[in-house]
């Protein structure tokens, strides 16, 4: 039932799903690596379905490790718009060109990154904007849309939770719950679109130990990383992810 792959492709997949675990364990920007790996090995549409179940395995492992750290107040702010974004992404999937999607997503991520870097210069005005309902709906909706069409919501939601000034462990616990819930919502739509199949299930089961080991590696890293360094790493990965999408 497993897809037929060469030894090199298996090595790439194992490295990719290890990065899935690391991203779920504390460094969300690393999630761009498995997206690129799976897109290189599988056709573009199929790659999103093949990657979804490994992501869910990583979500469950991350929840087991970080569940007590979640900030449910901020989760509730983005949950409904994220589900709406998933529905919009399901409707749009296949109707937008890959290039157009990459340009839009890159522009949004880079703009948010610049605003985050300049946050201290805008004072109370930006604090009010970040904690407003329109900001939560915009970022939550965009996160749901991008995760449905490309499994690429990591940089978007990282910037949202970074803007909320969450401590690093709360940041990781909150993103773990967010992506677990939103990825489970995506499953029936992915099945309906033919993006998921028995081989994707067997692949996820086969690589589960590697994903779980990546989660613990990610936790080991962030426990030793100062808060400011953690924020800069998250921001740097978001910018690199946007540039990679653009070019």
| Predicted local distance difference test score (pLDDT) of residue 200 | 83
Note down pLDDT in tens along the chain; length 247 residues.
667 888 899 999 999 999 999 989 988 768 778 877 887 888 766 777 888 999 999 999 999 999 888 899 989 999 999 999 999 888 877 666 666 666 766 776 677 677 666 655 555 555 677 778 888 898 889 888 888 877 777 777 887 888 888 888 999 999 999 999 999 998 998 888 787 888 888 888 899 999 999 999 999 988 888 888 887 887 787 777 677 766 6
What is the Cα–Cα distance from 25 to 223, expressed in whole angstroms?
10
| Predicted local distance difference test score (pLDDT) of residue 156 | 78
Which are the contacts of 233, defined by CB distance < 8 A and separation ≥ 6?
A: 27, 29, 225
| Predicted local distance difference test score (pLDDT) of residue 180 | 92
Query: Tokens 């939560």 map to which residue?
Result: 136
End-to-end CA, the chain: 35
Which are the contacts of 232, defined by CB distance < 8 A and separation ≥ 6?
A: none
| Predicted local distance difference test score (pLDDT) of residue 56 | 94
Angle at the Cα of 86 (from 83 to 90), degrees rounded to 5?
A: 145
What is the Cα–Cα distance from 24 to 21, expressed in whole angstroms?
5
Q: How far is CA 101 from CA 13, 31, 93, in A?
A: 25, 18, 10
| Predicted local distance difference test score (pLDDT) of residue 96 | 65
Query: Tokens 């989660």 map to which residue?
Result: 215
Please say whether the beta carbons of 15 and 43 come within 8 A. Answer: no
DSSP calls for the chain: ------HHHHHHHHHHHHHHHHHHTT-GGGGHHHHHHHHHHS-HHHHHHHHHHHHHHHHHHHHHHHGGG--HHHHHHHHHHHHHHHHHHHHHTTTS-HHHHHHHHHHHHHHHHHHHHTHHHHHHHHHHHHTSHHHHHHHHHHHHHHHHHHS--HHHHHHHHHHTT--HHHHHHHHHHHHHHHHHHHHHHHHHTT---HHHHHHHHHHHHHHHHHHHHHHHHHHTS-HHHHHHHHHHHHHHHHHHHH-
| Predicted local distance difference test score (pLDDT) of residue 60 | 95
| Predicted local distance difference test score (pLDDT) of residue 216 | 95
Which are the contacts of 9, defined by CB distance < 8 A and separation ≥ 6?
A: 41
User: Closest by alpha carbon to 171, among 118, 87, 123, 238?
Assistant: 238
Ranges of each domain in the chain: 7-246
């Amino acid at each position: 039932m497993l897809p037929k792959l060469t030894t090199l492709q298996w090595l790439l997949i194992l490295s990719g799903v290890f990065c899935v675990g690391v991203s779920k364990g504390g460094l969300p920007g690393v999630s761009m690596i498995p997206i690129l790996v799976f897109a290189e090995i599988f056709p573009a549409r199929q790659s999103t379905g093949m990657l979804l179940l490994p992501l869910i395995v990583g979500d469950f492992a991350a929840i087991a490790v970080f569940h007590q750290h979640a900030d449910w107040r901020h989760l509730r702010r983005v949950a409904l718009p994220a589900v709406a974004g998933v529905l919009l992404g399901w409707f749009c999937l296949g109707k937008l060109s890959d290039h157009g999607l990459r340009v839009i997503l890159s522009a949004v991520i880079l703009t948010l990154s610049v605003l985050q870097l300049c946050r201290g210069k805008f004072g109370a005005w930006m604090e009010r904007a970040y904690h407003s309902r329109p900001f939560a709906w915009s970022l939550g909706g965009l996160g749901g849309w991008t995760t449905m069409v490309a499994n690429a919501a990591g940089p978007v939601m990282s910037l949202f939770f970074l803007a909320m000034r969450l401590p690093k462990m709360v940041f990781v616990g909150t993103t773990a719950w967010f992506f677990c819930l939103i990825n489970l919502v995506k499953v029936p739509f992915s099945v309906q679109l033919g993006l998921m199949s028995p081989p994707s299930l067997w692949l996820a089961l086969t690589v589960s130990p590697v994903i779980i080991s990546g989660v613990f590696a990610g936790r080991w890293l962030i426990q030793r990383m100062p808060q400011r360094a953690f924020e800069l790493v998250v921001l740097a990965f978001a910018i690199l992810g946007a540039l990679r999408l653009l070019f």
